[in-house]
Amino acid sequence: MGDREQLIDLSEQLAAAIARRDVAAVRGFLAGGFVQRPAGGAAVDAEAFLTNITSIPGEIMVVRVEQLTVDISGDSAIVTGIQQARLEIDGSVVDDRRAFVDWFVKETGDWKLRTAVDLPAS
């Protein structure tokens, strides 16, 4: 499997791990010094990011990524796309769609997520 396919697969696996609230699996995808940067908000480190996953309200029905594009330059890559999450909260179904930019780096030969940026979906 080439780098592009690996990065698409990692993005899909990461979304599935978030849907399961499997923070141990999510941690395995993160590079050292990971940060999440929401548009217009304060950056959070890996521990806060993982805590936020466990704090997602309601039942997570699905988290999936779509419209993925991959740009690779050496041991660095940008993956962009749309993340769709569907949750059930207090009997109501909530659909959340947002754009994202993920910066992956190679650490000891494996792609790891260094920075995740959430953007409002248009």
| Contacts (Cβ under 8 Å, ≥6 apart) of 100 | 65, 80, 81, 82, 83, 116, 117, 118, 119
Residue with tokens 């941690």: 27
pLDDT above 90 for 41: no
Q: What average pLDDT does range 5-29 have in this prediction? A: 97
CA 41 vs CA 38, 64, 112: distances in Å: 5, 23, 23
The domain containing residue 108 runs over which residues? 3-120
CA distance 47 to 35: 9
**61: confidence class by pLDDT, cuts 50, 70, 90:** very high
Number of domains in the chain: 1
pLDDT band, residue 121 (cuts 50/70/90)? low
**CATH number of the CATH domain containing 101:** 3.10.450.50
pLDDT above 70 (res 11)? yes
Name the 3-class secondary structure at 2.
Answer: coil
